[in-house]
Chains A and B, each alone.
Chain A
Amino acid sequence: MEREREVALVVRLRSGDVTAFDYIYDAFNHRLLSFLTRMAKNRSVAEDLVEETWLRLVSGGQDLRADTRLGPWLFTVARNLYISHCRSRAREHSGAADLLLLWPGALPQSPFDLASMNEFEERLEAAIASLPPMYREVLLLVGVEQLRPVDAARVCGISPESLRQRLSRARGLISRFLASDDPSMEAVSKEVSHDTRR
């Protein structure tokens, strides 16, 4: 989104302009849902968190500064809500087996479509889902959602240098997952668990 347009949208949203909200909603709703679904690995949880993110925007819209960057702001709120959710539920699902349940609206419907679904994409999704959250979030924000690294660092509350390190580690782990011939990817999973304990 162009910067000037973004500033204008924030100003209009602050004054209660519903069409400005619609524009922002159309630009970010898919992205927020994709990010949170891949983080939470649960579509209904992601939908609840996305809804709450939007309600935070509209309820606190008048307090937004005119120079607020909407993308980082929305992803920061979404991420914080996800962390609060994890804390309150005190659990983090792992394993990629339930990943296919995440796309009821987007999954190919026919057997032919299912057969032609990109096998590589499936493996990539499974690899992302297997990453620990600290690596998964930076990979999703920078790699999938295309946030600038400096904005992604702000969203995650870490320094750009830490983000660079996490990103590099995440890419390495993903590449190893994808290169692994072992379908269970057990060896890499163990390494990931060991890595997060360090």
Chain B
Amino acid sequence: MIQDDERLLQALAGLRPITPDIEWETRVRARCHTAVSLRASRRARALRNSFRAKLVDLAAATALCVYLAAVIIEAARLGGSF
């Protein structure tokens, strides 16, 4: 008979743990590994794509700047010739 809380808590803490079936444990672990790896590769791909997108943006912005500069220079040249 347990008459005090301390003894009861000790008994509860000392209860036999439930041992997982090894096959089940291995299967779940493998399934989770696949999910973690898949997520990591998706993340890496997204990062690569984002880097590429930034490079394309930068190239487009540079081309636009060059084009605008050329237009301004041409406009100034034509304006100076009148």
The one of B12, B25, B35 that contacts A143, using a Cβ cutoff of 8 Å:
B12
Chain B interface, >50% SS class: helix
Residues of A within 8 A of B19 (CB): 30, 103, 105-106
Q: Known contacts A124-B12, A175-B8; is A58 also within 8 Å of B2 by CB?
A: no
Q: Is A165 an interface residue (CB 8 A)?
A: no
Interface size for chain A: under 10, 10 to 19, 20 to 34, or 35 or more residues? 35 or more
The A65-108 residues at the B interface (CB cut-off 8 A) are: 102-106
Q: Beta-carbon contacts of B1-35 to A below 8 Å, as 1s and 0s?
A: 11101001101110111111100110011011101
**A11 contacts B by Cβ under 8 Å:** no
Query: With an 8 A cutoff between CB atoms, is B43 at the interface?
Result: yes
Q: Tell me, yes or no, whether A6 is within 8 Å of chain B by CB.
A: no
Nearest Cβ in chain B — how far from A98, in angstroms? Answer: 14
The docked-state distance in angstroms from the alpha carbon of A143 to that of B5 is: 10
Q: Which residue of A lies closest to B9 (CB)?
A: A143
Residue from the list B1, B17, B18, B35 in contact with A178, Cβ < 8 A:
B1
Report the separation of the CA atoms of residues A43 and B20 in the bound assembly, to the nearest whole angstrom. Answer: 9
With a cutoff of 8 Å between Cβ atoms, the chain B residues found around residue A175 in the complex are: 2-3, 8
Can you list 29 A-B contacts with CB-CB less than 8 angstroms, sorted by A residue number? A13-B36, A16-B39, A16-B41, A16-B43, A18-B37, A22-B29, A30-B19, A31-B17, A37-B18, A38-B18, A54-B32, A55-B35, A57-B32, A58-B32, A62-B39, A62-B43, A103-B18, A104-B21, A105-B18, A105-B20, A106-B17, A124-B12, A124-B15, A125-B15, A143-B8, A144-B12, A171-B8, A178-B2, A179-B2
